[in-house]
């Protein structure tokens, strides 16, 4: 009689890498250094480009991670530490989402005034992306990769949509993967430069620009808002942040279904009609293919779901980083910052606890909705008190530490980024520009 198989013992969660303290210390040191330097205005012709602390933090940690092999052994942040930074980043973004929800809830009366613009913003995202990027891709000789690269900005949702419909080894899969890698490496830098050029021209109302910033990507939204809100009055900054937060939430939730049922079919329809015309140019015939992109290598170890311990470490890191940034960059003393951060952390912990009970709970959506509800004026007795407390935590004080963590993820994508041809990179950046400009144009129409 055969022996019964022993019950499988669940494997313990992976231990934190050695010298985790060094990673945390570097992130905080970069946060302090960049906030101490402050914004830098670089004149460009009749305009200027503003380099914000969060962008400096992103570039600094990217450089530290990319050059880790040349660092002294005592200061070396090796690949396991860089990979662990991705887990901490995913947990840190929960505070970012909660802050956006808190701002949106408190500003609900102002959001109601721009309701129609918010309702139609996905049209701007879709048509802005395709109108600019798809024709360029075809002229440059990119074939079916153009569909994956231009139907949406290449975030995780886009990877899921294309992966399920075509497979990541397909031409469409290579296109969306190239867009994803380009956005990860250059997205925040590119959108900062783009908005720095567009905002001073006076073409768009600041509220339209804020709505354009809500593209469904937290890092892109933060980078754009940092430029849009420079020099604005505090009340206007609150309104712009709230508009962007609402737009970002809509883009993240509604945008997924819009991409599946509207944008992707429309992109295929346009491709079939434009490719015979634009895809036959001399430049298009000389274009190489993107067959050497390896989806498995690019997406290796992308499952960076933080454990409970990782989440606690990330929250502690964010508490320290936000407190330092809020004081150094915005002059808010720690005793005024910490109560607001405590409220934000409490909402995140409640969501994490509920997620452990309800495994299928969409945590990010729950946190965004819950944070919005608790600060809606008149919604419950503590709404105004919570809004006042959390308003002392400046939105930009969160982004510096978040993007300092994001730099390690960017560095891990650099080898893959070097393999992308300039054509697909140009198309990917044009798609990002089209998403921003398209949504801003729709918003401007309704103002």
What does the block give as tokens for 303? Answer: 């499952």
Q: Lowest mean pLDDT: which of 146-150, 176-180, 221-225, 385-389?
A: 176-180
Phi, psi torsion values for 52, nearest 5 degrees: -90, 160
Q: Sort residue 38 into left (φ over 0), alpha (ψ -120 to 50) or beta.
A: left
User: What's residue 346's pLDDT?
Assistant: 97
Q: How far apart are CA 389 and CA 25, in angstroms?
A: 28
- Residue 5 confidence class, pLDDT cut points 50, 70, 90: very low
Count of alpha carbons within 13 Å of 101, Cβ hemisphere only?
Answer: 23
Nearest to 382 by CA among 104, 110, 102: 102
CA distance 142 to 313: 44
| Whole-model pTM over 0.85 | no
What is the pLDDT confidence band of residue 305, given thresholds at 50, 70 and 90? confident
**Encoding tokens for residue 275?**
């490719």
Fill in the DSSP letter of residue 168: T
Q: How far is CA 54 from the centre of its chain?
A: 13
Question: CA–CA separation, 442 vs 120, rounded Å?
Answer: 7
Average predicted confidence (pLDDT) for the chain: 83
pLDDT digits (tens, 9 = 90+) for 149-167: 898 887 666 876 887 688 7
CA proximity to 185, closest of 367, 436, 412, 421? 412
CA nearest to 347, candidates 367, 323, 321: 367
pLDDT digits (tens, 9 = 90+) for 274-288: 988 887 765 656 655
Interval 245-257: pLDDT, tens = 888 877 776 776 7
Most distant CA pair in the chain: distance in Å? 86
pLDDT more than 90, % of the chain: 30
Question: Residue 86 and residue 407: Cα distance in Å, rounded?
Answer: 9
């Amino acid at each position: 009689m055969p022996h019964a198989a022993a019950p499988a013992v669940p494997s313990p969660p992976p231990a934190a890498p050695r010298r985790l303290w060094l990673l945390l210390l570097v992130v905080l040191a970069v946060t302090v250094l960049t906030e101490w330097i402050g914004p830098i205005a670089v004149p460009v012709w009749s305009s200027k480009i503003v380099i914000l602390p969060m962008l400096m933090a992103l570039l600094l940690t990217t450089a530290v991670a990319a050059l880790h092999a040349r660092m002294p052994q005592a200061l070396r942040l090796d690949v396991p530490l860089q990979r662990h930074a991705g887990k901490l980043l995913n947990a840190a973004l929960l505070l970012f989402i909660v802050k956006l929800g808190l701002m949106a809830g408190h500003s609900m009366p102002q959001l109601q005034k721009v309701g129609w613009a918010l309702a139609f913003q996905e049209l701007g995202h879709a048509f802005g992306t395709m109108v600019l990027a798809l024709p360029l891709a075809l002229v440059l000789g990119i074939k079916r990769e153009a569909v994956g690269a231009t139907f949406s900005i290449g975030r995780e949702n886009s990877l899921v949509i294309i992966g399920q419909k075509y497979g990541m080894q397909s031409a469409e899969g290579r296109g969306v993967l190239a867009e994803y890698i380009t956005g990860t490496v250059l997205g925040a830098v590119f959108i900062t430069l783009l908005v720095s050029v567009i905002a001073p021209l006076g073409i768009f109302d600041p509220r339209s620009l804020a709505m354009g910033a809500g593209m469904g990507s937290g890092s892109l939204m933060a980078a754009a808002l940092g430029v849009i809100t420079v020099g604005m009055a505090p009340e206007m900054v609150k309104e712009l942040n709230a508009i962007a937060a609402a737009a970002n939430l809509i883009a993240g939730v509604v945008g997924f279904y819009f991409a599946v049922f509207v944008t992707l079919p429309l992109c295929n329809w346009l491709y079939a009609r434009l490719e015979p015309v634009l895809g036959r140019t001399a430049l298009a015939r000389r274009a190489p293919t993107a067959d050497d992109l390896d989806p498995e290598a690019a997406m290796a170890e992308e499952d960076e779901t933080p454990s409970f311990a990782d989440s606690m470490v990330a929250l502690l890191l964010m508490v320290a980083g936000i407190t330092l940034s809020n004081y150094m960059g915005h002059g808010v003393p720690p005793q005024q910052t910490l109560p607001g951060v405590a409220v934000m952390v409490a909402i995140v912990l409640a969501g994490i606890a509920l997620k452990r009970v309800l495994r299928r709970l969409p945590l990010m959506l729950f946190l965004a909705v819950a944070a919005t509800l608790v600060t809606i004026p008149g919604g419950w007795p503590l709404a105004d008190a919570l809004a006042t407390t959390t308003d002392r935590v400046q939105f930009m004080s969160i982004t510096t530490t978040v993007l300092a963590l994001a730099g390690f993820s960017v560095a891990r994508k650099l080898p893959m980024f070097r393999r992308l041809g300039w054509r697909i990179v140009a198309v990917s950046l044009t798609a990002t520009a089209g998403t921003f400009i398209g949504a801003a144009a729709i918003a401007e129409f309704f103002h």
